[in-house]
Amino acid sequence: MPQTTPLMAVTGSTLVLAAPASPAAPVPTAPDRARGPYARLFAVPGARGFTAGSLLARLPAGMWGISAVMMIAGQRGSYALAGAVTATGMAVTAVVAPWTARLIDRHGQARIALPATVIAVLGSLCLALCVRTGAPAWTLFACSAATAATPNTGGMSRARWTHLLPRDAHHGALSFEQAADELCYLLGPVLAVLLCTALFPEAGTLAGAALLLTGMLVFTAHRATEPPPAGIPPVRGSSPLRPLRPLLGLFLATGVVFGSMEVTSVAHLSGLGLGAAAGPVLALQAAGSCASGLLYGTRRPRGLTLCLAALAAALALPWAAAASGSLPLLAGALLLAGTATAPVMVTAMSRVHALTPAGRLNEGMTLAVTAILAGIAAGSAAAGAAVDRLGTTSAYALPATAALLALFALLVRRASDGTRVVLTTGERDPQ
């Protein structure tokens, strides 16, 4: 889970968000204010078109990992190889994505995102071809690395809303985008599994490549809604990394929540002989986040401290439900935990939006997404080790602990600032 401000998101059940100065947005009229937040979004000319393209281009984000694993393991018979190849793609993405986002901010979305998408699509097609033809293992790693060129479509979409809408409409736009991220991560794995099992092992990867290219073509075709390129920053050292550094720890912890929850739930249900239920049960977590994101957009934004406290409390529910051994209780607990996720992501992304230097919004949001991806990888690894050593019930403590650490870090930062940190949408921290 923009041009004047941001996710990703990601979410792990998933993943995974201050922008160049834009022309002054028109002051909304009384009838505009009376509209619901989402009706107001799609009254903007061109909004429906670029949103449709954005959703198509984001759907493969929920398909890539599971499609690659099913394709490689199905053809090569090695889950170790499949995991290493997908991890390589994620690691390269963590390095490449912020640079791609910086180029998009400087030179424009269509000019950079479309060629980058072509590179990523070619990487996916080559990966499928190499797997099918029995090419050497190193070619799979090279092809997976090429997919790291995939642009952060969610960030570009948020940048458009920020450019097009007045400030008081940004909260609704960010909430809608978070819900869209969750929807893509909800439907993506289901579609991937269906294609790979009903057709052939490469079907999920090929479909993802087709959706990405089609969606990006539709998205970039709506040039009237695209923010103007910022050009090269006049001041060196204006990277968003410095102002966002305290928030990146929060996104890292959130990624740990996503990654550890997914691995722990799969292991727990498999241990109960209910492995087939893992997908639908985890989908409930994404569905809860999607629904709460849409609802949160119609309400006044809350403080990040309150949202994190609610998330930490909600994440204790799956831990307790796992101890009972009841599938319905675990499913309900994951649904409730999911509802606490979106407010955290929306509020944190609004901080990214507020703190990112002008002209660097897409880069700032991509840094947040990269931190989430790193957290997902760390959370998955930590949960796997916890499951082996402590059992699946104890491993459910890991997501709750990650949320508590994020809350603790936020409180420590606020205390060290010596002043109250403003954590509501559209306001800046006193620095």
Give a yes or no: residue 423 inside a domain: no
pLDDT tens per residue across span 183-193: 787 777 778 87
pLDDT tens digits in sequence order for the chain, 431 residues long: 343 333 333 443 334 333 333 444 444 444 444 456 777 777 888 888 888 998 899 888 878 877 887 788 778 777 677 777 877 887 788 788 888 888 888 888 888 889 999 999 999 999 999 988 888 889 988 998 888 888 888 888 888 888 888 777 777 787 788 778 877 877 777 788 778 877 888 888 899 999 999 999 999 888 888 888 766 665 555 666 777 777 888 888 888 888 788 778 877 887 777 766 766 777 788 888 888 877 887 777 778 888 888 999 999 999 888 888 788 898 899 889 888 888 888 888 878 877 777 667 777 778 888 888 788 778 877 887 888 888 888 889 988 898 888 888 788 777 666 544 444 444 444 33
Q: DSSP for 277-342?
A: GHHHHHHHHHHHHHHHHHHHTTSPPPPHHHHHHHHHHHTHHHHHHHHHT-HHHHHHHHHHHHHTHH
What pLDDT shows up at residue 430? Answer: 34
Give a yes or no: residue 316 inside a domain: yes
pLDDT tens per residue across span 325-351: 788 898 899 889 888 888 888 888 878
Nearest CA to 100 out of 91, 88, 113, 90 is that of 113
What's the DSSP call for residue 60? G
Nearest CA to 230 out of 319, 99, 357, 44 is that of 357
Give a yes or no: residue 128 inside a domain: yes
Give a yes or no: residue 424 inside a domain: no
What pLDDT shows up at residue 5? Answer: 37
CA distance 340 to 310: 6
- Would you say 383 and 244 are in contact if contact means Cβ atoms under 8 Å apart? no
- Would you say 373 and 348 are in contact if contact means Cβ atoms under 8 Å apart? no
pLDDT tens per residue across span 375-385: 877 887 788 78
What pLDDT shows up at residue 28? Answer: 44
Phi, psi of 150 (to 5 degrees): -55, 125
Give a yes or no: residue 9 inside a domain: no
Ramachandran bin of 303, using left for φ above 0, alpha for ψ from -120 to 50, beta for the remaining angles: beta
List the CATH number of the domain containing 257: 1.20.1250.20
Give a yes or no: residue 11 inside a domain: no
Burial of 316 (0-12, 13-18, 19+ CB in 10 A): middle
Cα–Cα distance list, 376 to 221, 319, 384 (Å): 33, 19, 12
What pLDDT shows up at residue 120? Answer: 92
- Output helix, strand, coil percentages for the chain, rounded to the nearest 5: 75, 0, 25
What pLDDT shows up at residue 117? Answer: 92
Give a yes or no: residue 309 inside a domain: yes
What pLDDT shows up at residue 428? Answer: 41
Domain count, the chain: 1
pTM to 2 decimal places: 0.72
Phi, psi of 204 (to 5 degrees): -65, -45
Degrees to nearest 5, angle at CA 177 with 244 and 223 = 95
What pLDDT shows up at residue 231? Answer: 65
Placement of tokens 């950079």 in the chain: 112
Residue 142: which domain range? Answer: 35-417
What's the DSSP call for residue 359? T
What pLDDT shows up at residue 9? Answer: 39
Give a yes or no: residue 431 inside a domain: no
pLDDT tens per residue across span 347-370: 888 788 777 776 677 777 788 888
Placement of tokens 């991890």 in the chain: 87
What pLDDT shows up at residue 273? Answer: 78
| Distance spanning both ends of the chain, measured CA to CA | 26
- For residue 320, the tally of other CB atoms under 10 A from its CB is 13
Q: Which two tokens stand for residue 131?
A: 């797997």
What's the DSSP call for residue 169? G
